[in-house]
Amino acid sequence: YTIIIYLSYPIYLSIMRGVLSSIMASGQQWVLVEMVQAFYEAPAYHLILEGILILWIIRLLFSKTYKLHETYKLTENEKEDLIEEWQPEPLVPTLSKDHPSLSYDIVTGSPSHKIIINGKECINFASFNFLGLLDNERVKQKALSSLKKYGVGTCGPRGFYGTFDVHLELESRLANFMQTEEAIIYSYGFATIASAIPAYSKRGDIIFVDEAACFSIQKGLQASRSFIKYFKHNDMKDLERLLKEQDLEDQKNPRKARVTRKFIVVEGLFINTADICPLPELVKLKYKYKVRIFLEESMSFGVLGEHGRGVTEHFGVNIDDIDLISANMENAVATVGGFCCGRSFVIDHQRLSGQGYCFSASLPPMLAAAAIEALNIMEEDPGNRSFFNDCLNVALCLCDRIPGLRLEGEPFAPALHLQLEKSSGSREADMKLLRSIIDYCLNRNVALTLARYLEKEERFLPTPSIRVVVTVQQTEEEIQKAVSCIVEAASVLLQ
C-alpha cells in the first residue's frame, strides 16, 4: 500500500498545485466559482486518480493493521483433536514416601505441660502455651459453662445471627486490656492479619515489610495486591533508604502520592527469628515519612511488657502511635482465634472490609468465653511476667553452651530457635540431623519440634531450626533436664 502511495504522491501533488495555482492566479480573493472552474479545467484522469487515491487513504486509515485470527481459524475437528490430545498434569505431584511432613506425630490427650507423643509422655517444649492456660481449670470451667449455655457452633457469620454477647464482651475486654478504643475478633488466628492487611491496602498502595515476616503476613500482602517492598530484617537503615526512595518518587509525582497509602508491616516478636522489632525507631520513621504501622503481636501478646500488652508496653511506646495491632489468641491465651485492636477509625473499617471477619462463621462462644477467662487471669496476676522473664533468662544461659548448635533470638523471647552452627550444605540433610536430635530428646521425655515451613512458598526461607518453647509451667529442674538432654543429643549426633 505504501508503495502505491509513494508512487502516486507526485501526481497528487501536481494536481493540487495546478488547482491551487489557478486559485492563486485569480488574485488574493478566494472565490468558490473559480475553484470549481479549476476542477473543470483539470484533466479528467487526474480527478479520477485523485478520487481513487482519497478513497484508498480512507480505507487504509480505517482498516485494521493486522488480522490475528484470520490466519489460524481452527475447524471443529481440529478443535476436537486438540481437546483429545491435551493431557493435564496430575492434580497433585506424587510425594516421596519419606517426606518429613507426611506422618505427623500423634498427640494423645491434652497438649499441655505434660504431653503424650506417639505414646510417650514428655515435658512439652513445643506448644505455644506460654502462660500455661491450656489446661487451666478456671478457663475450662468458663468454657464449659458457656458450652452449656450456647452449644458449640454459632451457625452463622457475625452479620447473620452469629454475633453473641460473648463476642461483644470479649471485644470490649480486649480493647480494655490493650488500652485501645476498639478491638475486633476473628475466628482463626491465621486469618487475622491476613484479612486485616487487604482491608486497608489496595492495588497501587505500598507496603514496606520486614524480610522475616511470618507466613500469614505474606498471604495478607499477596491478597492486597499492593506494591511490596521488603527491607532487611530489623535493618532500620535499609527501611529508611526505601522510604527515602519512595519520598523522592512521591515528590516527582505528588498527585499520585496523595492517594497512595503507605504501610510498614512488622512483627513484634518475629516467630521465624525470635527477634524483637525496633519499635521506637519505627515510630520515628512513621511520623517522618507519614507511613502507617501494622504490628503483628502473636508471639509477644501476653508475654512482653509489665501487663502483657506486648511490644508497645515493652518499649513504652504510646499504643496510639501504632495504627493496628493484631495477634492471635492461640498462643498465650491458649484458645482459638485472633483479634485486631486500635482506634475505632481504623478498626471499624474491618467490620465490612475484613474478609475473614465478614464471610466466616464467628468464633464458637465457648472459645470466646475461654479467652475472656484467660484475660481475667492475665489481668489478675501481672506477677506472671517477672517470673516469666526469669524463666527465659535461665533458658538462655543454659542454651548458650550447646556444642554445634547456635541459639537465635532475643533472650526474653518465649519461642527460641536452635540452628546448626555448621550447615551440611543441604537443607534436607540439616532437617534430618535436627530431627534426629528431636527424636533423641523425645526418647528421653523432652518434647521439641522442628520449625516447619513451606519451602517453596516462603518469600525468604528461614534456616532450619529446632523450636524451643518456654512456658511458665516448666520448673527449673525440667529446664535443666531439657538442656542437658539437648547438649547430650548434640554431642552424640553432631560429631
Residue 121, H or E segment: strand 120-124
Site for another protein in 30-49 (CB under 8 A): none
The set of cell numbers assigned to 383 is 506477677
β-pairing verdict for 338-342 and 182-186: antiparallel
Which CB atom, from 290 or from 401, has the smaller least distance to another protein?
290
The C-alpha cell of 332 is what? Answer: 498465650
Q: Does 51 bind another protein (CB under 8 A)?
A: no
In terms of CB distance, is 56 or 150 closer to another protein?
150
Binding of residue 17 to another protein (CB under 8 A): no
DSSP state, 276? Answer: B
How far is C-alpha 429 from the geometric centre of its chain's CA atoms?
Answer: 29
Closest separation between CB of residue 457 and another protein, Å?
A: 7
Measured CA to CA in angstroms, residue 1 lies from 46, 54, 68 at distances of: 20, 13, 19
CB of 33 to another protein, least distance (A): 56
Instruction: Return the residue of 58, 60, 74, 429 that touches another protein, per CB under 8 A.
Output: 74
**If binding is defined by CB under 8 A, does position 135 make contact with another protein?**
yes
Closest distance between another protein and the C-beta of residue 233, in Å?
19
Is residue 330 part of the contact set for another protein (CB under 8 A)?
A: yes
Please report the sign of the dihedral spanned by the C-alpha atoms of residue 340, residue 341, residue 346, residue 347: positive
List the one residue from 15, 19, 117, 242 that touches another protein (CB under 8 A). Answer: 117
Does the protein bind another protein through residue 61 (CB under 8 A)? no
113 near another protein, rule: CB under 8 A:
no
**In the bound complex, what is the minimum distance in angstroms from residue 213's beta carbon to another protein?**
12
Note whether 470 binds another protein by CB under 8 A: no
Q: Which of residues 82-111 bind another protein (CB under 8 A)?
A: 82-83, 86-89, 91-95, 99, 101-102, 104-111
For residues 343 and 340, give the distance between their C-alpha atoms in angstroms, rounded to a whole number. 10
Q: Which of 15, 213, 219, 302 binds another protein (CB under 8 A)?
A: 219
Residue 399 touches another protein, criterion: CB under 8 A: no
User: According to CB under 8 A, which residues from 426 to 455 bind another protein?
Assistant: 447, 449-454
Q: What H or E segment, with its residue span, contains residue 449?
A: strand 449-450
Report the residue number, 190 or 270, with the smaller CB distance to another protein.
190
Q: Is the dihedral of CA 109, 105, 448, 328 positive or negative?
A: negative
Three-class DSSP labels, 167-185 = HHHHHHHHHHHHCCCEEEE
C-alpha 191/C-alpha 364 separation (Å) is 16
> Minimum distance from CB of 161 to another protein (Å)?
4
Burial grade of 233 (CB within 10 A; 0-12, 13-18, 19 or more): middle
Residues 165-204 that bind another protein (CB under 8 A): 165, 167-168, 181, 187-191, 200
C-alpha torsion angle, residues 118, 121, 127, 129 (rounded to 10):
150
Confirm or reject binding of residue 419 to another protein (CB under 8 A): no
Q: Give CA–CA dist 371/305, Å, rounded.
A: 19
Provide the phi-psi class of 342: left if phi over 0, else alpha when psi is between -120 and 50, else beta.
left
Residue 246 in the binding site for another protein (CB under 8 A): no
What cell was used for 425?
Answer: 550444605
Q: Which is nearer to another protein, 46 or 140 (CB)?
A: 140
Query: For another protein, which is the closer residue by CB, 25 or 259?
Result: 259
Residue (6 or 72) nearer to another protein, CB: 72
Q: How many CB atoms lie within 10 A of CB 200?
A: 21
Which residues between 247 and 306 bind another protein (CB under 8 A)?
A: 257-262, 287, 290, 292
From the CB of 426, what's the least distance to another protein, in Å? 18
Say whether residue 156 binds another protein (CB under 8 A): yes
Distance CA(469)–CA(490), nearest Å, equals: 18
Q: Which three cell numbers stand for residue 222?
A: 499477596
Q: Which of 17, 59, 79, 401 binds another protein (CB under 8 A)?
A: 79
CB 492 within 8 A of CB 483: no
Contact segment (CB under 8 A) with another protein among 37-45, 51-59, 137-145, 426-434 equals: 137-145
CB of 382 to another protein, least distance (A): 22
Verify binding: residue 66, another protein, rule CB under 8 A.
no
